[in-house]
Structure 1
Amino acid sequence: EQDSIILADESIKDGSTATVVVFDDGTLFTANCGDSRAILIRKNSTWCTLTQDHKLDLESERKVVTRIAKERGQDPEPEIVNRRGTWRTLAADRRRGLAVSRSFGDREFKNSNHGLTCFPYCTMSSLSEEHVACVLASDGLWDVVSEEEVAEAVVAARENYPLLTARDLSEELCRMALLRNSQDNITVMVVFIKHCH
């Protein structure tokens, strides 16, 4: 529904990805669309990825885009090319491309012969006493900082700086990405998990 509202507003040309988490009575529900990502971190610095990147680098996502374009009766098929190691679907002018297969908005890619969609990937996870944090971030972080590094940084910060806030840690992860010359926008949200007894 949100995608329809965005697409109806002709002043909005671009698009965005989304990752959403909902904590409810010991269960974590996650949905994502695009290449923003969320991880769930344990006390021992291990983590699990809660999302799935929707990038055209994945053959399965290229197939989804092609299938949806065919289902929409769009002919010819979307033009998907590999430019400098990154798969993209090309805009009508063939100069611009999009590397994600799912997003909100991106009118030009949804109103032409592209199979771009906003269908999310959803997961449900049970929380335990071992879980300490959830980190949601855009690819501006994940392109230059590994999930392992993020998990280790979060656990170390919690152990060594107990007064550090989730916001402080979010800003620190953004700085880490900037110091590594991230070429994309950087959005990070750290959520500390508090267990009630």
Structure 2
Amino acid sequence: MDLFDDLPEPTQTSCSITAAPIKAQPQSTKEGEEEEKGVKRKLDNADSNTARRGADEEEIKKGYVAARRGEREEMQDAHVLLPDMSSFVSALPKQVSRVSYFAVFDGHGGARASRFAAEHLHQNLANKFPTGDTENMDRLIKKCFFDTFRQTDEEFLRKASSQKPVWKDGSTATCMLVVDSMVYVANLGDSRAVLCRMEATPAGDGQRRAMTLALTKEHNPTMYEERMRIQRAGGTVRDGRVLGVLEVSRSFGDGQYKRCGVISSPDLRTFQVTTNDRFFILACDGLFKVFSAEEAVNFVLNILQDKSVEQRVGLTEEEARFEAACQQLASEAVRRGCADNVTVILISVNF
């Protein structure tokens, strides 16, 4: 369900978005990580970025990410989790207390575009982020996103074209920026972000039901607007693909398709977190090839309600359940037959 056109106005309140302070994961095993059939998860969640910005601010706790290589020879996904992005921003506006950033990138034709985006997109975003006592903050942040996506794409294309042979890698992107309680979600391609929101049942019996909100729009060349843009640029769509090859109509990289109408301008949506919001899922299309968005949300909810989840040293009961839900969701995608890379980021909302 996509409710962005008629979301109710939320009440103003402060919240804590929790996620692991894990930066972009290079696809090689390092000290402090474990690898199990393509699983690469940071074991040490300590990071200076988790420092609290004020005594009245809730603590940002541990978070959750899982990656599976599937049947692919190479892990082409990349991800970034920055619960506190303030160290990257020269000076936050006075009206902003905290900025968080989460992203998943699904590479194709290689892992170079996804890794480049994971390394540079948030830094470019931070460099362009509004500073000082700024009016029209929402408009400026939106402009910052569009400028950042364009800049990151241009930088990668310059680097790709300077190589011999030229790099032909591309990557989707789904990025979420949290500015206090405002959420900005920008995406290219077919990776997705969804939100679990708990709402009262119509019966008025005090029970709550889970609603699954789509936070992203897929960019498929078979979609009318995408196909028209590609055709106006002189490209064609065959068998649901650009020139019969590329499955997505917007991406980072893919220099050989830029002249055919493939662009890096994201869809951008904004909303305010409410007290009814439970968690976000950001994931590449590997997950959604075998899960609908509603199935993924219900899968996580079932594990969060499972009293038998094994406790782990250093984790609270709730943290252990979120950790288990994230890992089991990625594993279940592979078990259901997804041969693609699968990366899942699970972000809880705490009030």
1:146 pairs with 2:292: yes
Aligned to 2:221: 56
Within 1, Cα distance between the matches of 2:223 and 2:327?
30
Aligned to 1:79: 236
1:103 pairs with 2:251: yes
**Contact 1:31-1:51 within 8 A present in 2 as well:** yes
1:124-165 residue CA offsets vs partner (Å, 9 max, x unmatched): 112111111000001001111011111111222222253425
Aligned runs of 1:44-193 on 2, under 5 Å?
44-67=209-232, 69=233, 77-82=234-239, 87-90=240-243, 97-110=245-258, 113-160=259-306, 161=309, 162-164=318-320, 166-193=322-349
**Residue 189 of structure 1: how far off its partner (Å):** 0.5
Aligned to 1:28: 183
Q: Which runs of 5+ in 2 are unaligned?
A: 1-150, 199-208, 310-317
**Residue 167 of structure 1: how far off its partner (Å):** 4.3
Q: Which runs of 5+ in 1 are unaligned?
A: 70-76, 91-95
TM-score (structure 2 length as normaliser): 0.48
Please give the secondary structure, in 1, of the residue aligned with 2:248.
coil
Within 2, Cα distance between the matches of 1:170 and 1:185?
15
Percent of residue pairs identical: 32
1:52-111 residue CA offsets vs partner (Å, 9 max, x unmatched): 0001131221112223x1xxxxxxx212112xxxx0012xxxxx610100000012112x
Please give the secondary structure, in 2, of the residue aligned with 1:98.
coil
Quick one: which of 41, 44, 68 aligns to 2:196?
41
**Contact 2:300-2:326 within 8 A present in 1 as well:** no
Distance 1:63 1:177, change over 3 A: same
Letter in 1 for 2:223: L
Letter in 2 for 1:27: M
Within 1, Cα distance between the matches of 2:303 and 2:288?
19
Count residues with an aligned counterpart. Answer: 176
Letter in 1 for 2:213: C
**Contact 1:167-1:189 within 8 A present in 2 as well:** no
Aligned runs of 1:5-24 on 2, under 5 Å?
5-10=155-160, 11=163, 12-24=167-179
Distance 1:119 1:179, change over 3 A: same
**Contact 2:230-2:236 within 8 A present in 1 as well:** no
Within 2, Cα distance between the matches of 1:79 and 1:36?
23
**Contact 1:157-1:164 within 8 A present in 2 as well:** no
TM-score (structure 1 length as normaliser): 0.83
Letter in 2 for 1:78: G
Please give the secondary structure, in 1, of the residue aligned with 2:193.
strand
Within 1, Cα distance between the matches of 2:171 and 2:339?
16
**Residue 183 of structure 1: how far off its partner (Å):** 3.2
Within 2, Cα distance between the matches of 1:169 and 1:4?
37
Aligned to 1:73: none
Within 1, Cα distance between the matches of 2:341 and 2:285?
8
Task: Find runs of 4+ consecutive structure 1 residues off by over 4 angstroms.
Answer: none
| Higher CA-based Rg | 2
Higher RCO (C-alpha 8 Å, min separation 6)? 1
Distance 1:165 1:13, change over 3 A: farther
Within 2, Cα distance between the matches of 1:167 and 1:140?
19
